[in-house]
Amino acid sequence: KAGVTQTPRYLIKTRGQQVTLSCSPISGHRSVSWYQQTPGQGLQFLFEYFSETQRNKGNFPGRFSGRQFSNSRSEMNVSTLELGDSALYLCASSLEGSNQPQHFGDGTRLSIL
């Protein structure tokens, strides 16, 4: 069974640009969550999608947005990139969400120059 796939693995952008990250969940999983990991901050929750609807949202500015498609694949978009957006972005999926353990992808390492 294929795991959670995130593309691309690495990305370099400059300030002011925008970026789109992609996540393909495990087949059959309908809940997809996104996290930002930075040194000393742990995993900060961005948002969760379930059946194409944003069900939950963390405390991030509106520059961070996402969407989920009918096949449960999800994309995350960050506009007007700032230096502080440099981080590892992780996607996690689970069957129904709720308290089920999430399965994580290997992340996209975003570097802002």
Partner 1 sequence: DQQVKQNSPSLSVQEGRISILNCDYTNSMFDYFLWYKKYPAEGPTFLISISSIKDKNEDGRFTVFLNKSAKHLSLHIVPSQPGDSAVYFCAGFKNTGNQFYFGTGTSLTVIP
Binding site for partner 1 (CB under 8 A): 4, 33, 35, 40-45, 48, 55-56, 58, 90, 92, 97-99, 101-107
Nearer to partner 1, 55 or 79 (CB): 55
Structure tokens at 85: 């957006």
Minimum CB separation from partner 1 for residue 75, in Å? Answer: 17
Q: Kindly tell me which of 60 and 79 has the beta carbon lying closer to partner 1.
A: 60
Output the smallest distance, CB 61 to partner 1, in A: 17
CB of 78 to partner 1, least distance (A): 19
How far is Cα 1 from Cα 84, in angstroms, rounded to an integer? 35
Nearer to partner 1, 18 or 54 (CB): 54
Distance CA 33, CA 50 (A): 9
H/E element holding 13?
Answer: strand 10-13
> Nearer to partner 1 by C-beta: 35 or 64?
35
Q: How far is the CB of 56 from partner 1 (least distance, A)?
A: 5
Tell me the residue ranges of DSSP E strands in the chain: 5-7, 10-13, 19-24, 31-38, 42-50, 53-57, 64-68, 74-78, 87-94, 103-104, 108-112
